Amino acid sequence: MKVLITGITGTLGHALAERFHDEWDIVGFSRDELKQADMERKYPDIKFVIGDVRDYHAVYKAMKGVDAVIHAAAMKRIEACEKHPIEAFKTNVHGTENVAEAAYHHEVQKAVVIGSDKGVEPVNAYGMSKAMQEKIFISYGYNAVRYGNVFGSRGSVVPLFMDLAKRGESLRVTDPDMTRFMLPVNDAVELIVKALNSPMKGDIYIKKSPATRLIDIAKAFSDDIKIVGRMVGEKQHEMLISSSETTRMKEIDNGFVVISLEDVGGESKEAYTSNKERILSMEEIKELVARYIK
């Protein structure tokens, strides 16, 4: 199977490359030539293409002959998207439309976009753009996956805390009671594969995920912690499924599917939020650090 992966140089792209470079014929698409060069030395069997999802012609050209698309390219930092919302729109919304339209015109049968819990009842520019990503792919009949934080992903709080602790600096926590869904990258890959291999009906695949308090992650690295207050656009708790979506929700193995085009007749339930999930213990957090943070 020939698969185009946008955002190949990100954490998820690396994980997909490591898992499937011997199994899939991968085309890796991103705008970061340095990171592509680093990856190419490790994965010479992957075809790397320089391009930006904002450029429809570059996307269309890279997609020629592929059987499936995994759209992982996005602006992801909440602060950057709040400061530059139009840039978030250009990449996360317009870029996603380019990917979906190119896939449609190439008659690609399988395509999945990477959604986010921050796109559920969003309160910031990043979340709004991620909600639109899902809407766009679903409108073309393609599937989506939705999950929370990937543990240790590039630019996330885990490597940031580790770096600050190594330098002997204080760790800044916005709210000690704040919770976040936390998913190992291998589980994110499994969810994508499930959505990719399922019928393309514009459905959203969600994995049950434990949660963690940000204060507990900080304590796993240091006792020098400062509470600084929530930033603009931050929720105290995240949401993977809204209450209004529960009427279209089916439970599957260790997760859920939100059906796009039909009401499955379910009763409205409470939203699936991070403060109602199992909270990872300090020992579990340290085990994840040892396994995924190098």
CA distance 276 to 273: 6
DSSP for 63-107, written as a single string: TTT-SEEEE------HHHHHH-HHHHIIIIIIHHHHHHHHHHHTT
- Would you state the pLDDT for residue 22? 95
Amino acid found at 243: S
* Domain boundaries, position 156: 2-292
Q: By the 8 A CB rule, do 38 and 63 touch?
A: no
Tell me the mean pLDDT per 10 residues along the chain, length 294: 97 96 97 95 97 98 98 94 97 98 98 97 96 97 96 79 90 92 93 97 95 93 90 89 93 91 73 94 88 71
Q: Which helix (H) or strand (E) holds 168?
A: none
* CA 75 vs CA 53, 84, 90, 104, 154: distances in Å: 11, 10, 9, 23, 12
Is 118 catalytic? The answer is: yes
CATH number at residue 148: 3.40.50.720
Q: By the 8 A CB rule, do 254 and 187 touch?
A: no
Active-site annotation holder among 118, 130, 194, 219: 118
Place of tokens 């140089």: 9
- Would you state the pLDDT for residue 127? 97
- Would you state the pLDDT for residue 231? 80
CA distance 18 to 78: 28
Q: Which helix (H) or strand (E) holds 142?
A: none
Domain count, the chain: 1
